[in-house]
Amino acid sequence: MQLDSTLMALADPTRRAILQRLARSPAKVTEIAKPFRISLNSVSKHIRVLERARLVKRHVSGRDHVLTFDPAPLRHAEQWIHDHLVFWTQQLDELEARLSRSKP
Amino acid sequence: MQLDSTLMALADPTRRAILQRLARSPAKVTEIAKPFRISLNSVSKHIRVLERARLVKRHVSGRDHVLTFDPAPLRHAEQWIHDHLVFWTQQLDELEARLSRSKP
CB pairs under 8 A between A and B: 81
pLDDT greater than 90 at residue A18: yes
- What element of type H or E holds A67? strand A64-69
Q: Which of B72, B69, B58 is nearest to B2 (CA)?
A: B72
Nearest residue of B to residue A5 by CA position? B11
pLDDT greater than 90 at residue A61: no
The answer to whether B74 faces chain A, any CB pair under 8 Å, is yes
pLDDT at A81: 96
Nearest residue of B to residue A79 by CA position? B78
Specify whether the CB–CB gap between B61 and B28 falls below 8 A: no
pLDDT greater than 90 at residue A11: yes
Cβ neighbours of residue A86 under 8 Å, at least 6 residues apart?
none
pLDDT greater than 80 at residue A31: yes
A interface mutation test: which of B57, B75, B88, B99 has the most A CBs within 10 A? B88
Phi, psi values for residue A38, rounded to 5°: -125, 165
| Below-50 pLDDT ranges, chain B | none
Measured between alpha carbons, how far is B13 from A4 in angstroms, rounded to an integer? 8
pLDDT at A97: 92
The answer to whether A95 faces chain B, any CB pair under 8 Å, is yes
Averaged pLDDT, A40-68 = 94
Averaged pLDDT, A69-97 = 94
Note whether B3 contacts A24, CB cutoff 8 Å. Answer: no
Cβ neighbours of residue A46 under 8 Å, at least 6 residues apart?
A12, A14, A15, A18
pLDDT at A28: 94
Looking at beta carbons, which residues of chain B come within 8 Å of A7? 7-8, 10-11
The answer to whether B94 faces chain A, any CB pair under 8 Å, is no
pLDDT greater than 90 at residue A70: yes
Nearest residue of A to residue B15 by CA position? A4
The answer to whether B23 faces chain A, any CB pair under 8 Å, is yes
pLDDT greater than 80 at residue A103: no
Q: How far is CA A9 from CA A19, A81, A92, B7, in A?
A: 10, 15, 29, 9
